[in-house]
Chains A and B, each alone.
Chain A
Amino acid sequence: MSSLDAMYQELILDHARHPHGKGLAPTFDGESFQVNPTCGDRIRVRVSLGDPAVGRAAGGDLAVGWPVVADLTWDGQGCSISQASASMMGDLVRGKDLSEAAALGEAFGELMRSRGRGIDPDLADRLGDAVALEGVSRYPMRIKCALLGWMALKDAVARAATGDASPARIPEGI
């Protein structure tokens, strides 16, 4: 398989053609708008957070966990890599708590920086479909495409934490 074919695996093209979670939810707790300056591609990500899980820690104490990503929706336009990556990201983090979501973002970043050498198999297993994007790591000019959605997620979560749920302003018009 050529490097090109390794990057454009059928799974990736499938996600790009039929993206999951594309279409913005009307309500949300945090939103982010990100642009890839090299191509002008853009993405808007909205997250809604659910209440943290409450449970008994090992010692029997009551423990409050992290809020959960109850929903993640997005919209934007971009190449098949950015679209597939956003689609896979949503599948991956929906239902996870913020700590897990951040760890997955770190793991995905590590995959993108791996230059085709791969990452720890256990870590890779946790990335679900997104591990198919490993081929992108051989193309430094395209890593930003794959990370665009993840950057927006990180920012949207940060905005949710500060209670800043106002939509990101972008210039309209011709």
Chain B
Amino acid sequence: MTASPALSDQELAAIRSDFPVLGRRGEDGRPLVYLDSGATSQRPRVVMDAMRDFAENHNAAVHRGAHTLAGEATEAFEDARAAVARFVGASPGELVFASGTTGAMNLLTAALGAASEGRGQGLGRRFAILPGERIVVTQAEHHSNLVPWQELAARTGAELAWLRVGADGRLRLDDLPAVINSRTRLLAFTHASNVTGAITDVGAVVAAARQIGALTVLDAAQSAPHLAVDLAALGVDFAAFSAHKMLGPNGIGALYGRAELLEALPPGFTGGSMVEIVTMREATFLPPPNRFEAGTQAVTEAIGWAAAVGYLAHLGMGRVEAHERALTARLLSGLAELPGVRVLGPAEAAGRLGAVSVDLDGVHPHDAGQYLDAQGIAVRVGHHCAQPVHRALGVHSSTRASLGLYNTAAEVDRFVAALGQVRDYFGAGL
């Protein structure tokens, strides 16, 4: 038996009724079991309603124009920024809107690249990355927190080094002293792996980085939807996360940066909306966060995101976490009973999230996913935009069930039962 969920059955039923898509039925006529929240979460009605209300009643260009609508839109946009910032323990000026986690990471690497090329004058010099200096990432990264750093290393001549993942799917933090050298300028790492679900001991990485004055960049795309995340308390310098994984719309995410750092960082993307004075030869830039928000922003999506964090905050992230942890424990113990099923990542629910990837002996994930889909169960199959961590664990790809706050114990049981039939269907158990 696992611990009782922190959400009562009645509360969970009420939550589920807030998500229209959960009423869908699968190919077999049974209710859809959505276990792909790690890829994108479903949205409660309040998010759609907020976006529709904005579009119908307040839509205008923000930060320009003096008419009533423009004022309302600007206020709503900045209120949204404040709401999202508050949700992750940041102040509004520390939250830069971006297109998503990938967009945020590219925004940051573009800015660091600009600083490395001498932009940003004196203040920006602290961000310059020189040939032979080191950028540290980890084997557990989603491609969005890996490929931009590969490219920045190639542009600056920096050396890329990485922390490895152990057989249990956790980062080998014991290797930190060996991986970080005196020339290390930056450590980019995930708060929680989208494949193994393992939660990183952020404090240990931050402490190691501070000893040598390196910057820390946290990928919070997987953690922000499932844990109470306080970026200021975690002590990281930068962080990125996406709305669409935390009940919000896609097309928007954020880069968090500590205020004094954003103050000094030159922009990587430039153009309209981020400038003060523009002449034919040069321009001066606005203070952060606007300095980093070139061009028209996803205003409607920001409004939707604010509604999403409002929904999560109302439930309380502690309760969300407790509910999901109980489901994760149930899922893991169910999987442990299945022959030929190997969990890629920690076998216990402690210190991990409910993104649970498995390798099925003798069955390709694509085939497994197709079998599950025919039973109305939606999972992710493939490498989940994280090829190196699969390679580290000795597989090419996997089948992943990832939980959301709206999932139930009965859904977990249906998934485990169906997964238990997959190897027989494909003759792998024979």
Chain A interface residues (CB < 8 Å from chain B): 2-4, 7-8, 13, 17, 38-41, 77-81, 139, 142, 145, 174
**Across the interface, do A40 and B374 meet the contact criterion of CB distance under 8 Å?**
no
Shortest Cβ-Cβ A-B pairs, 9 listed: A79-B366, A39-B382, A79-B364, A40-B383, A4-B374, A79-B367, A80-B367, A39-B366, A40-B397
Give A67 to B366 CA distance when docked, in angstroms.
36
Query: B139 contacts which chain A residues (CB < 8 A)?
Result: 174
- Is B257 interfacial (CB-CB < 8 Å)? no
> How close is B32's CB to chain A, nearest CB, in angstroms?
16
Binds A, one of B78-86, B87-95, B333-341, B385-393: B385-393
**Across the interface, do A8 and B367 meet the contact criterion of CB distance under 8 Å?**
yes
- Is B427 interfacial (CB-CB < 8 Å)? yes
Number of interface residues of B (CB under 8 A): 22
- Is B27 interfacial (CB-CB < 8 Å)? yes
Give A126 to B427 CA distance when docked, in angstroms.
29
Taking CB atoms and an 8 Å cut-off, the chain B residues in 341-384 that contact chain A are 364-367, 370-371, 374, 381-383
> How close is B137's CB to chain A, nearest CB, in angstroms?
12
Give A78 to B397 CA distance when docked, in angstroms.
10
Chain B interface residues (CB < 8 Å from chain A): 27, 139, 364-367, 370-371, 374, 381-383, 387-388, 390-392, 396-397, 425-427
Please judge, given known A-B contacts A40-B396, A80-B367, A139-B370, whether A8 and B426 are in contact too, CB under 8 Å: yes
Give A4 to B372 CA distance when docked, in angstroms.
10
> How close is B29's CB to chain A, nearest CB, in angstroms?
12
- Nearest CB in chain A to that of B164: its residue: A174
User: Knowing that A4-B374, A41-B366, A41-B396 are A-B contacts, what are 7 other residue pairs whose CB atoms are under 8 Å apart, sorted by A's residue number?
Assistant: A4-B370, A8-B370, A8-B426, A40-B396, A79-B364, A79-B367, A139-B370
Query: A77 contacts which chain B residues (CB < 8 A)?
Result: 396
- List 17 contacting pairs A-B, 8 Å CB cutoff, sorted by A: A3-B27, A4-B371, A8-B425, A13-B427, A38-B382, A39-B381, A39-B382, A40-B382, A40-B383, A40-B390, A78-B366, A79-B364, A79-B367, A142-B366, A174-B139, A174-B388, A174-B391
- Nearest CB in chain A to that of B364: its residue: A79
Most chain B CB inside 10 Å of its own CB: which residue of A7, A77, A80: A80
> How close is B430's CB to chain A, nearest CB, in angstroms?
10
Most chain B CB inside 10 Å of its own CB: which residue of A38, A41, A139: A41
- Nearest CB in chain B to that of A42: its residue: B396
**Across the interface, do B366 and A2 meet the contact criterion of CB distance under 8 Å?**
no
Give A38 to B383 CA distance when docked, in angstroms.
8
Query: B391 contacts which chain A residues (CB < 8 A)?
Result: 174
> How close is A149's CB to chain B, nearest CB, in angstroms?
15
Please judge, given known A-B contacts A2-B374, A3-B27, whether A40 and B367 are in contact too, CB under 8 Å: no
**Across the interface, do B383 and A39 meet the contact criterion of CB distance under 8 Å?**
yes
Give A80 to B383 CA distance when docked, in angstroms.
17
Give A19 to B373 CA distance when docked, in angstroms.
26
Give A139 to B27 CA distance when docked, in angstroms.
12
